[in-house]
Amino acid sequence: MRNKLLLEFRLNATWDSVESKVLSLLEAFFGTSFSVANQFGSKLKSKLFLGREDEVVVLVRQQPFKDQLSLVTIDIDFGESERPTTSAQTQILTEDIKGAFSDIDAIPSWQQMPMLRLGNTQNFNSYLTTSDDRVVEYAAKSVLFDQRSKFQHVQIVDTIDHGPLLLLDGLVNLAEGDRIPYTHTLMGLDRGLEPEYGDARVLVLGGGDGALLKELLELKRAPRYVTMIDIDATVLDACSEFMPNVCGKYTARRRGDNYNVIVGDAFAEMKRLKEKGDKFDFIFGDLTDTPVLDDDDDKAFSRAVLENALGLLKPSGGRYLTHCNGKNAPEALEAFERLVDERFAGMTRTRYEAFVPSFMEIWVFYELKSD
Among the listed residues 132, 286, 296, 341, the single catalytic one is: 286
> Cα–Cα distances in Å, from 60 out to 7, 40, 214, 359?
10, 11, 54, 34
How many CB atoms neighbour CB 304 within 10 A?
13
DSSP state at residue 79: E
Q: Which residues contact 326 (CB under 8 A, 6 or more apart)?
A: 130, 131, 132, 359, 361, 362, 363, 364
286 is catalytic: yes
**Calpha distance 234→146 (Å, rounded):** 10
Cβ-contact 114, 87 below 8 angstroms: yes
What string of H, E and C letters represents the secondary structure of 108-175?
CEEEECCCEEECCCCCCCCEEECCCCCEEECCEEEEEEEEECCCCEEEEEEECCCEEEEEECCEEEEE
Q: Phi then psi for 39, rounded to 5 degrees?
A: -145, 145
- How far, in whole angstroms, is CA 87 from its chain's centroid? 24
- The residues that are catalytic are 286
